[in-house]
């Protein structure tokens, strides 16, 4: 025979047992605030990176545009340098001593010279003809002779053999000059 336990005892045991709740997983990862903070930092870093990339690209476009203009200018510079001797030969042909002898030919050469000179000036060529007495500057002058002079101080130009030329404000042919050593006596 089986013994039956009184029902009272069975109810007590059921009441004494703690009620079991469905198990919830404990959060083991970072808090949502931390995740949001990291994501905001990442977004700011990406925005900064994008802005830097845009600025670099803008600088690249500007630099290549400047380089292209400089390349075109350099090509024109070489052409103008090759034309300077032609200009100088025109000037020699128009020397006052020749004008009396050839009349109409000289008049035609003068017209061609004027037209040619105007064209070169329009392209950016400037003559540079330093006056006697100006301080010698190796960035603009080429000393052909050093000579003693009682009238002109040392390191000053005494004569100009040929003028210089600038193209777009860059010296492309130096003025050939004589420079004074001063009075060495």
The answer to whether residue 106 scores a pLDDT higher than 80 is no
| Per-residue tokens: 37 | 């903070």
Q: Could you give the CA distance from residue 16 to residue 105 in angstroms, rounded to a whole number?
A: 134
pTM of the predicted protein model: 0.51
Integer Cα distance of 164 and 90 in angstroms: 16
The C-alpha angle 39, 42, 43, rounded to 5 degrees, equals 85
Mean pLDDT of 143-157: 88
Distance from the Cα of residue 107 to its chain's centroid = 46
Judged against a pLDDT cut of 90, whether residue 96 lies above it is answered with: no
Who's near 116: CB < 8 A, 6+ residues apart? 83, 86, 87, 90
- Position with higher pLDDT, 104 vs 35: 35
Q: Is the pLDDT of residue 100 over 70?
A: no
Query: Quick one: average pLDDT of 77-97?
Result: 79
> Mean pLDDT in the chain?
81
């Amino acid at each position: 025979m089986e013994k039956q336990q009184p029902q009272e005892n069975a109810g007590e045991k059921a009441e004494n047992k703690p009620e079991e709740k469905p198990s919830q997983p404990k959060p083991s990862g970072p808090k949502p605030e931390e995740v949001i903070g990291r994501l905001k930092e990442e977004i700011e870093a990406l925005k900064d990176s994008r802005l830097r990339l845009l600025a670099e690209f803008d600088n690249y476009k500007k630099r290549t545009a400047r380089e292209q203009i400089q390349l075109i200018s350099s090509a024109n510079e070489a052409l103008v340098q090759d034309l300077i001797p032609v200009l100088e030969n025109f000037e020699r042909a128009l020397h006052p001593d020749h004008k009396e002898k050839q009349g109409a030919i000289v008049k035609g050469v003068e017209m061609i010279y004027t037209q040619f000179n105007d064209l070169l000036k329009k392209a950016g060529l400037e003559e540079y003809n330093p006056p006697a007495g100006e301080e010698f500057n190796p960035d603009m002058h080429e000393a052909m002779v050093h000579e003693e002079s009682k009238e002109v101080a040392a390191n000053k130009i005494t004569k100009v053999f040929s003028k210089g030329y600038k193209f777009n404000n860059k010296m492309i042919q130096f003025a050939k000059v004589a420079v004074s050593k001063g009075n060495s006596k």
